[in-house]
Structure 1
Amino acid sequence: MQIQETMQNNTCVVCVTGRLDATTAPELDQAVTQIIEQGKHKMVFDLTHLEYVSSAGLRIFLVVAKKLKGLNGELSLAGLQGNIKEVLEISGFPSILPCYDSMDDLPA
């Protein structure tokens, strides 16, 4: 898994590439915790290049969303395609977090 952080319109975009599973989830958790500690409380996970997500990865999304909500922040998921979109929909994520099919669909 690769994690890349960029800023876009006062939002921290965290691009996750590869597989997000029990082996790689702690790495994402650690990276995002450092971002939050830097005071970046509006975040988008760009999942355009994510190939696989397990329940451990889904848990990270929920944990990060809860941390950000406690800091009056927000987490969105974008770049939802194929299997990733299907897993998130079956798991009910669109009713919990703002979810977008592409980064271009994010509100300005």
Structure 2
Amino acid sequence: MSFQYDFSQLDGATAVRLSGRLDSATASGFEKPLQDLFNQPASRVLMDFSALDYISSAGLRVVLMAAKRAKQSQGALVLCSLQQQVRDVFEISGFLRILDVADDSSAALNQLRART
């Protein structure tokens, strides 16, 4: 299965919907478009993982770099709707302790709203 992503606007935030596999073969092509979302200060980004089936360490690195970029630009990044197998990877890596994660997009939007 391949990796796909799309951007849309959702209640003042940019929603990034991921699907497929975010791994070493696909992560590099996704990194720049994701980083570019934080070119404007105070950008708010919601990453929806509901259709992402797999994430590797390369994918984790892309997400971590986006979180760092968000912080540098006084923006916000919230992940949501992680499937159990993807959540397990985030848990094992310790990323759930350092990233903002919500159960669903509604909760993620509430977290983003609270930061403005």
Gapped regions of structure 1 (runs ≥ 5): none
Gapped regions of structure 2 (runs ≥ 5): none
Q: Tell me which of 6, 9, 13 is aligned to 2:8.
A: 6
Q: Tell me which of 17, 20, 24 is aligned to 1:18.
A: 20
User: After TM superposition, where is structure 1 displaced by more than 4 Å over at least 4 residues in a row?
Assistant: none
Q: Tell me which of 26, 29, 34 is aligned to 1:27.
A: 29
- How many angstroms apart in 2 are the aligned matches of 1:76 and 1:35? 13
Q: Are 2:43 and 1:41 equivalent residues in the alignment? A: yes
- SS of the counterpart of 1:6? strand
- How many angstroms apart in 2 are the aligned matches of 1:79 and 1:10? 19
State the shift of 1:93 in Å.
1.7
State the shift of 1:42 in Å.
1.1
* 8 A contact 1:81–1:101 mirrored in 2: no
- How many angstroms apart in 1 are the aligned matches of 2:6 and 2:70? 19
Q: Tell me which of 91, 95, 98 is aligned to 2:97.
A: 95
Q: What is the percentage of aligned positions where both structures have the same residue?
A: 33
Q: Please, what is the CA RMSD of the aligned residues?
A: 1.4
* 8 A contact 1:4–1:16 mirrored in 2: yes
Name the counterpart of 1:105.
Answer: 107
TM-score by length of 1: 0.90
- SS of the counterpart of 1:83? helix
TM-score by length of 2: 0.84
Q: How does 1:39-78 map to 2 (within 5 A)?
A: 39=40, 41-78=43-80
Deviations 1:42-97 (A, max 9, x none): 11111000010000000011101111100001111101122011111121222111
